[in-house]
Structure 1
Amino acid sequence: MTLNPGLTLREAADTDAPALAALQGEVWPQHTTTAEALLHELADLRAHPLRPHVWRLVAEEAGEVVGLASVHQFPGMFHPDRYHADLLVRPAAQGRGVGRALAAALEAHLDARPAREVLAGTQEDHPRGLAFLARHGFREAMRFFDNVLDLRAFDPAPWAEAARLPEGLRLLSLPELIAEQGEDAAWRAYHAAAVEAREDVPRTGEATPLLYGAFRTRGEHPQFLPAGVLLAVTASGEVAALTELYADAADPARLNTGLTGTRRACRRQGLALSLKLAALDLARRRGAQSIWTGNATTNVPMLTLNERLGFRPRPAWTEMKRGEV
């Protein structure tokens, strides 16, 4: 297609990471990132044993990055014919054909693969983005809430009893478990619990096995907080349940929840609630003012738990799908 005068498209380079982090912050200010985090995630994809496909195209005007089209495959939900597509355009550059040019290049790239299933999304309060995806053949597959707790308004006193783990279980952070078991054994216990807990996390496709080597790389992520990994540990050293807190890329007063879950044999004992309360206590002691967590709208147990604690939903992320594998 003919590009607007002054608009150029080119393959993204690693040196674009600062500009791409800034672009994401402009488009999705509630989900900012850093150049360091983007480069770490890109390195993880490139090094993953599944060899997921990664393609990124930037749009420039007068030498300034104003948009990004990307296609990649998530190792956690991998299928050789399933792809995830993203398209970002700076708000100030919208309405000048940047999105159309990137979308055309993205579609050509997907056609060349070819892609049998493509996932893409936007927030439910972005009607322009939803309409754009609908015009390209996408239909809603699932919604995910950002749930936010204002720690300044949270009163832990009524939760004192629920915060106690059942007899026979201890609350340990990942560094404390490493001190007891050694680094590899502790990470393997953490991994075993995460593997089982994530099996019941709602998603738009089947989960891919969580390989131990790939799991270990999360410890190198710039926002990873070892002390924020809280574990319910049995007398034999097994991890029965876990919750994770990550630092935020831009807001030091905000923490983000990763996976919270309980192994099947240990459920219905209130372990997830106890660990969430321990995480809230840790967050308060660290000086955090808010905790953000993401939940699929179909994950009723976790949504109910978070609502009880005072988390309140923000506009949902609408995951949309075209095709099927």
Structure 2
Amino acid sequence: MTLIVRDFRASDAAAVAEARRAAWPYRVTTAEGVAWEVRNAPAEQRFRLLVAESDGLVVGSAPTGVLTGEDTERHRPGRAFTDVHVHPAHRRRGVGTALLHSAEEYLAGLGAGTVYSWTLDERPSTTFAERRGYRRGRGSRCLRLDLTTAGLPPLGPLPPGVEVRRGTDFAADPRPCYVAESAAGRDEPGDISPDPGSYEQWLAAEWRRPERSAELTSYVLVDGVVTAYSIGLTDGRGRYVSGGTGTLRGCRGRGLAKLAKNHSLHLAHAAGCTEAIAGNDTGNAPMLTINQWFGYRPAAEEWRYLRELAV
């Protein structure tokens, strides 16, 4: 077997997406999305998509880069990421080890001190991480809802002053969506503080993301102000994935996030999606409760592992 690790080429997009879907079945992945993440990564992220090629066949990849954002308690300089994805049919052949070695070598050269990496809660994956010096951090729950049998709550009348719109209604000016998403997203639990960046960065990295569906995304407006949202992602294969649900601080506890998500799920069902997937930090009790109320059931667990690099 001839194994090499190299940088991504545009012609790799379909193969990388296929391997990633097989390795990480609870996320939405498309060839268009793989190519997009390489083209639109912020310059300061120093992003590289490492690809493992075995005898001419792409069998795995590792998106790798520096975490960018505000210097807050949850986001300190010198932190980086890499997520190793290896097609299950090609594991135990040194592919993951080669990808991780190349990723860590690159990040160490950039001066990264801590590397974060997601893994599924399955023995081969967690053992792989722990044997290479990674320790377990925060967890996330993957939940699944069968949209072919789910009895979604009916879309009843809205309270006075409240309206629901699709993402398509903001095509001409999505700035109100950016304001709401960036404000509410900062309160999302986790060991890494999300940073939406500038409006222009958000447009490139989020709004124009190929898997993001404006048709399946819902925004709740209160007195004309975007107050809550539920982002819908899809792979065009019948899968709907929640890309984030939130409510502005000060407006929580009124059922607005649930209202946004219910509309988004109805849109997904009407569009022919057959399953819905959601991932929530284990400390995000409000969102876990909402998803369980809709009928989502546990499908898998994920862990974010971290390792201190000797630089």
1-side partners of 2:100 and 2:213: how far apart? 37
Q: Normalised by the size of structure 1, how large is the TM-score? A: 0.85
Any conservation in 2 of the 1:73–1:84 contact (CA below 8 Å)? yes
CA change 1:216–1:104 in 2 (3 A) is closer
1-side partners of 2:99 and 2:54: how far apart? 13
Of 213, 226, 234, which residue of structure 2 is paired with 1:225? 213
Partner residue, 1:292? 277
Q: Secondary structure at the match of 1:222?
A: coil
Matched, 1:97 2:89: no
Listed as ranges, the matches of 1:248-259 within 5 Å are 248=235, 251=237, 253-259=238-244
Which blocks of at least 5 consecutive residues in structure 2 are unaligned?
none
1-side partners of 2:127 and 2:158: how far apart? 48
Partner residue, 2:136? 140
CA change 1:100–1:225 in 2 (3 A) is closer
Q: Which moved further from structure 2: 261-270 or 219-228?
A: 219-228
What letter matches 1:90 in structure 2? H
User: How many residue pairs align between the two structures?
Assistant: 304
1-side partners of 2:97 and 2:83: how far apart? 13
1-side partners of 2:303 and 2:154: how far apart? 36
2-side partners of 1:269 and 1:147: how far apart? 23
Q: State the shift of 1:318 in Å.
A: 0.8
2-side partners of 1:208 and 1:176: how far apart? 25
Any conservation in 1 of the 2:216–2:264 contact (CA below 8 Å)? yes
2-side partners of 1:275 and 1:111: how far apart? 42
Q: State the shift of 1:80 in Å.
A: 4.4
CA change 1:30–1:304 in 2 (3 A) is closer
CA offsets per residue over residues 63-84 of structure 1, 9 Å max, x none? 2223334421344687541111
Q: How large is the RMSD of aligned CA atoms in angstroms? A: 2.3
Would you identify which runs of 4 or more consecutive aligned residues in structure 1 move more than 4 Å?
74-80
CA change 1:24–1:269 in 2 (3 A) is same
Partner residue, 2:58? 65
Any conservation in 2 of the 1:10–1:59 contact (CA below 8 Å)? yes
Listed as ranges, the matches of 1:230-269 within 5 Å are 230-235=218-223, 237-248=224-235, 251=237, 253-269=238-254
Q: Normalised by the size of structure 2, how large is the TM-score? A: 0.88
CA change 1:167–1:82 in 2 (3 A) is same
2-side partners of 1:116 and 1:6: how far apart? 32
What letter matches 1:247 in structure 2? T
Partner residue, 2:305? 320
Listed as ranges, the matches of 1:1-325 within 5 Å are 6-31=2-27, 33-45=29-41, 48=42, 51-75=44-68, 80-124=77-121, 126-156=122-152, 159-160=153-154, 163-177=156-170, 183-184=172-173, 187-217=174-204, 218-235=206-223, 237-248=224-235, 251=237, 253-323=238-308
What letter matches 1:62 in structure 2? D
CA change 1:299–1:213 in 2 (3 A) is same
State the percentage of identical aligned residues.
30
2-side partners of 1:168 and 1:208: how far apart? 31
What letter matches 2:256 in structure 1? L
CA change 1:172–1:138 in 2 (3 A) is same
More helix by share: 1
Which blocks of at least 5 consecutive residues in structure 1 are unaligned?
none
Any conservation in 2 of the 1:24–1:32 contact (CA below 8 Å)? no
